[in-house]
């Protein structure tokens, strides 16, 4: 019998790496969660019945997700349960439900058409966002809509329900799959158009070695969960689910973002070797989890975690983080159709994060949303550049009543443990003064109320070149600085990091970027105040030696990346790296010198 590598064409697809590692196995194609939607007008007399269908579908899907949430095993990553909560929040949001029902009541659309129309409205709002993380939340709305449509169609099962090879695996019959040429690969890899957090729960219960999706990016919820589960994966691979056939032999290269389909024996052997090497490396890294992060010349290094929601504190502690360097507060604000979280809701969320870290410090970034974010139904002018418009601290200062609510909630949470406050996108001295005045006012309001609150160090994000170039000004007013390298690269090089047409120009090693980072770190040292890097560069082990050589002593990153960075720290002599690091940032071609570290 011929194997797939004998009869099927070999080819390679490129996507975005979501979770590192190598997976080799047979393809399992997940049925698409998307459905054709009937666009039918109903009569006024049919409106009550159609609204009842909508409500029943919503209740049924919510009950199903709540059962999934309740039945999750204890070892389920916090990210997954938190994302199920996000889907439940969207599903049960009264504003979203009312807007969907309005299409039925006012336009006389059938229920399916109403859901599809509201999804289109929300999708346009998400597409206009500058922030890549928030823009990817469009996928969560689409997944909730898909579940409602399946319920209305009477096929409520998960998109992962029982494709044939998957069911065979559950029945212990995975060995029935024919082995590829050059060795035995009983593992399976999942190929899908997209995966929701609920699908990922099903995914965790199966025995998949890896997965690839047509949609998504490295900032999508699917990618975040994949990293928490430590499953090699590639997202945003275009037409993977159309081009790959059931039972094709597939290599998922989560390091390079590549999918090799029906590879030849030589490539299979090479990747098997890389997979074994990666497993040995994983075992070695696990042995240093409890080892303090100290360089060979005795420099203690602070390794912090970037988290999205309070539930992520469990992953931060498991990765041996010594605190949270960035808690994004946007999760409380997004997709609420203008209904902003009140002080009590914010206080409860921030307090949960503080208590979850068991006495370790938590840095809460004030909300990074603005005119381009889905706070209401307004749309920015088509001539606006969302990256340069009313966002982050600019938006907060334009809405002082809203900002005071958040500031009071953060200060109250500080009564439960060590809290720092981080202000995004500052550039002007006037913004600094206004921000500090509002923080003082929020504290005075709490004192007048007699409400408990705690001390809170205040820091500024350095993500605009103007801020980096005037770091001494910031250090006179703030307790610490945190460099957001993702936006700093974007603004320095005038590159929209979400635009695939110019993504190849996004270069963290550009001399201008490195010199701005080096200058900010040096300014912090001169003023005796800490500087942290919380962007993607902090979690890139290839950049660790350079950042150490530049004097960085505080790194904040996704929990899954902490051990790899710690290994680099333990192998480094920071004092010997200093001269080399200066040569790198002085070079016109820093990338060439990066590999020549002492």
Per-residue model confidence (pLDDT) at position 41:
76
Question: Angle 47-70/94-107 helices, nearest 10 degrees?
Answer: 160
Per-residue model confidence (pLDDT) at position 332:
84
Q: Name the CA radius of gyration of the chain, rounded.
A: 25
Q: Is 487 annotated as a binding residue?
A: yes
Known catalytic residues are: 221, 534
Per-residue model confidence (pLDDT) at position 46:
92
pLDDT digits (tens, 9 = 90+) for 295-325: 999 999 999 999 888 988 998 999 999 999 9
Question: Angle 197-205/221-229 helices, nearest 10 degrees?
Answer: 30
Report how far residue 556's alpha carbon sits from residue 569's, in angstroms, rounded to the nearest whole number.
Answer: 14
Of 119-123, 175-179, 369-373, 534-538, highest mean pLDDT: 534-538
Please give the average per-residue pLDDT across 555-570, as a whole number. Answer: 93
> If we measure between CA atoms, which residue out of 8, 1, 19, 12 comes closest to residue 560?
19
Per-residue model confidence (pLDDT) at position 141:
79
Q: Is 274 annotated as a binding residue?
A: no
pLDDT digits (tens, 9 = 90+) for 475-494: 999 999 999 998 899 899 99
Per-residue model confidence (pLDDT) at position 498:
54
Statement: residue 29 has pLDDT above 80: no
pLDDT band at 4 (very low <50, low <70, confident <90, very high): very low
Higher pLDDT, 260 or 18: 260
Surface-to-core class of residue 171, CB atoms within 10 Å of its CB (0-12 exposed, 13-18 middle, 19+ buried): exposed
Per-residue model confidence (pLDDT) at position 253:
95
Report how far residue 445's alpha carbon sits from residue 364's, in angstroms, rounded to the nearest whole number.
Answer: 20
Helix (H, G, I), strand (E, B) or coil at 53: helix
Report how far residue 416's alpha carbon sits from residue 241's, in angstroms, rounded to the nearest whole number.
Answer: 48
Helix (H, G, I), strand (E, B) or coil at 28: strand
Residue-range domains of the chain with CATH: 4-33+160-285 (3.50.30.10), 44-153 (1.10.274.10), 291-594 (3.20.20.60)
Rounded to the nearest integer, the mean pLDDT of the chain is 83
| CB distance 412 to 446 below 8 Å | yes
Contacts of 553 (CB under 8 A, 6+ apart): 299, 300, 301, 302, 530
Contacts of 241 (CB under 8 A, 6+ apart): 29, 30, 32, 191, 192, 193, 213, 214
Instruction: Give the count of alpha carbons within 13 A of 569, CB side only.
Output: 30
Per-residue model confidence (pLDDT) at position 409:
98
In Å, what is the CA distance from 279 to each residue of 150, 257, 331, 357, 563? 39, 19, 34, 29, 14
Per-residue model confidence (pLDDT) at position 219:
56
Q: Is 74 annotated as a binding residue?
A: no
Q: Is 365 annotated as a binding residue?
A: yes
Statement: residue 14 has pLDDT above 70: yes
Please give the average per-residue pLDDT across 393-416, as a whole number. Answer: 96
Report how far residue 431's alpha carbon sits from residue 473's, in angstroms, rounded to the nearest whole number.
Answer: 12
| CB distance 161 to 190 below 8 Å | no
Of 168-177, 269-278, 372-381, 496-505, highest mean pLDDT: 269-278
Per-residue model confidence (pLDDT) at position 291:
95
Per-residue model confidence (pLDDT) at position 505:
81
> If we measure between CA atoms, which residue out of 237, 211, 238, 206 comes closest to residue 222?
211
Statement: residue 456 has pLDDT above 70: yes
| CB distance 369 to 126 below 8 Å | no
The structure tokens listed for 25 are: 């196995």
Q: What is the DSSP letter of 415?
A: G
| CB distance 563 to 287 below 8 Å | no
Q: Is 312 annotated as a binding residue?
A: no
In Å, what is the CA distance from 247 to each residue of 32, 244, 553? 17, 9, 48
Statement: residue 383 has pLDDT above 50: no
Helix (H, G, I), strand (E, B) or coil at 189: strand
Helix (H) or strand (E) segment spanning residue 441: helix 429-449
pLDDT digits (tens, 9 = 90+) for 214-228: 887 765 656 766 766
Report how far residue 189's alpha carbon sits from residue 179's, in angstroms, rounded to the nearest whole number.
Answer: 14
Higher pLDDT, 385 or 298: 298
Per-residue model confidence (pLDDT) at position 335:
58
pLDDT digits (tens, 9 = 90+) for 168-200: 333 332 333 333 333 345 588 888 887 765 566
Which of 6-10, 206-210, 230-234, 509-513 comes out lowest in average pLDDT? 6-10
Per-residue model confidence (pLDDT) at position 486:
85
| CB distance 553 to 532 below 8 Å | no
What sign has the CA pseudo-torsion 384, 385, 389, 392?
A: positive
Per-residue model confidence (pLDDT) at position 117:
79
Report how far residue 532's alpha carbon sits from residue 483's, in angstroms, rounded to the nearest whole number.
Answer: 6
Written as one string, the DSSP assignment of 348-395 is HHHHHHHHHTTTS-EEEEPP--BTTSTTSS----TT--GGGSSBTHHH
Written as one string, the DSSP assignment of 464-481 is SHHHHHTHHHHHHH-SEE
The H helix count followed by the E strand count for the chain is: 25, 16
pTM: 0.67
Report how far residue 266's alpha carbon sits from residue 167's, in angstroms, rounded to the nearest whole number.
Answer: 31
The structure tokens listed for 555 are: 């790194």
Statement: residue 378 has pLDDT above 50: no
Listed in sequence order, the DSSP H helices in 1-93 are 4-7, 47-70, 78-92
pLDDT digits (tens, 9 = 90+) for 36-54: 566 677 898 999 999 999 9
Beta bridge partners of 468: none
> If we measure between CA atoms, which residue out of 177, 158, 178 comes closest to residue 168?
177
Q: Is 280 annotated as a binding residue?
A: no
pLDDT digits (tens, 9 = 90+) for 77-89: 666 667 777 788 8
pLDDT digits (tens, 9 = 90+) for 235-262: 888 889 889 987 899 999 998 899 999 9
Give the whole-number percent of the chain exceeding pLDDT 90: 46
Give me the residue label for tokens 């929701």: 196
| CB distance 78 to 311 below 8 Å | yes
Per-residue model confidence (pLDDT) at position 585:
94
Q: What is the DSSP letter of 560?
A: G
Per-residue model confidence (pLDDT) at position 473:
97
Could you tell me the maximum CA-CA distance found in the chain, to the nearest angstrom? Answer: 82
Helix (H, G, I), strand (E, B) or coil at 198: helix
In Å, what is the CA distance from 325 to each residue of 304, 330, 410? 5, 15, 15
Statement: residue 341 has pLDDT above 60: yes
């Amino acid at each position: 019998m011929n194997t797939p590598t004998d009869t099927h064409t070999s080819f390679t697809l490129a996507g975005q790496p979501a979770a590192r590692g190598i997976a080799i196995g047979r393809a399992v194609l997940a049925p698409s969660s998307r459905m054709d939607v009937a666009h039918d007008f109903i009569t006024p007399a049919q409106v009550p019945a159609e609204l009842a269908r909508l409500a029943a579908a919503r209740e049924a899907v919510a009950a199903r997700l709540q059962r999934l949430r309740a039945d999750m095993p204890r070892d389920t990553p916090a990210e997954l349960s938190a994302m199920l909560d996000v889907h439940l929040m969207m599903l049960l949001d009264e504003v979203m439900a009312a807007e969907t029902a309005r299409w039925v009541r006012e336009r006389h659309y059938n229920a399916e058409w109403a859901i599809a129309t509201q999804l289109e409205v929300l999708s346009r709002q998400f597409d206009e966002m500058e922030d890549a993380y928030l823009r990817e939340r469009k996928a969560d709305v689409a997944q909730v809509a898909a579940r409602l449509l399946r319920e209305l169609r009477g096929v409520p099962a998960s998109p992962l329900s029982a494709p044939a090879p998957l069911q065979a695996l559950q029945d212990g019959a995975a060995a029935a799959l024919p082995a590829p040429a050059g060795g035995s690969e009983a593992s399976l890899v999942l190929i899908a158009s997209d995966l929701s957090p609920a699908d990922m729960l099903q995914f965790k219960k199966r025995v998949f070695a890896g997965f690839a999706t047509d949609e998504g990016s490295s900032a999508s919820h699917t990618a975040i969960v994949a990293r928490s589960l430590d499953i090699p994966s590639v997202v945003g691979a275009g037409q993977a689910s159309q081009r790959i056939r059931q039972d094709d032999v597939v290599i998922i290269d989560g390091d390079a973002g590549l999918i090799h389909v029906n590879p030849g024996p030589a490539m299979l052997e090479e990747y098997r070797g890389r997979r074994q090497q990666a497993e040995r490396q994983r075992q070695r890294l696990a042995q240093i989890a409890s080892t303090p992060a100290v360089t060979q010349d005795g420099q203690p290094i602070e390794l912090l975690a970037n988290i999205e929601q309070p539930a992520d504190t469990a992953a931060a502690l498991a990765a041996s983080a010594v605190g949270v360097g960035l808690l994004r507060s946007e999760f409380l604000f997004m997709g609420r159709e203008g209904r902003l979280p009140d002080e009590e809701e914010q206080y409860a969320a921030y307090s949960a994060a503080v208590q979850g870290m068991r006495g370790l410090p938590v840095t809460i970034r004030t909300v990074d949303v603005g005119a381009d974010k889905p706070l209401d139904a307004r749309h920015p002018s088509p001539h606006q550049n969302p990256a340069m418009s009313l966002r982050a601290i600019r938006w907060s200062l334009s809405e002082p009543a809203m900002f005071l609510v958040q500031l009071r909630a953060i200060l109250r949470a500080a009564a439960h443990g060590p809290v720092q406050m981080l202000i995004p996108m500052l550039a002007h001295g006037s913004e600094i003064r206004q921000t500090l005045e509002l923080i003082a006012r929020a504290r005075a309001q709490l004192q007048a109320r007699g409400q408990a609150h705690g001390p809170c160090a205040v820091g500024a994000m350095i993500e605009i070149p103007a801020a980096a170039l005037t770091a001494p000004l910031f250090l006179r007013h703030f307790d610490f600085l945190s460099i957001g390298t993702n936006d700093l690269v974007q603004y320095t090089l005038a590159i929209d990091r979400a635009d695939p047409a110019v993504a190849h120009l996004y270069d963290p090693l550009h001399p201008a970027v490195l010199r701005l980072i080096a200058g900010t770190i040096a300014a912090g040292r001169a003023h005796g105040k800490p500087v942290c890097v919380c962007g993607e560069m902090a979690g890139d082990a290839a950049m660790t030696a350079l950042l150490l050589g530049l004097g960085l002593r505080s790194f904040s990153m996704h929990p899954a990346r902490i051990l790899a960075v710690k290994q680099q720290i333990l192998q480094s002599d920071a004092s010997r790296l200093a001269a080399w690091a200066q040569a790198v940032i002085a070079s016109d071609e820093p990338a060439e010198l990066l590999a020549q570290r002492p």
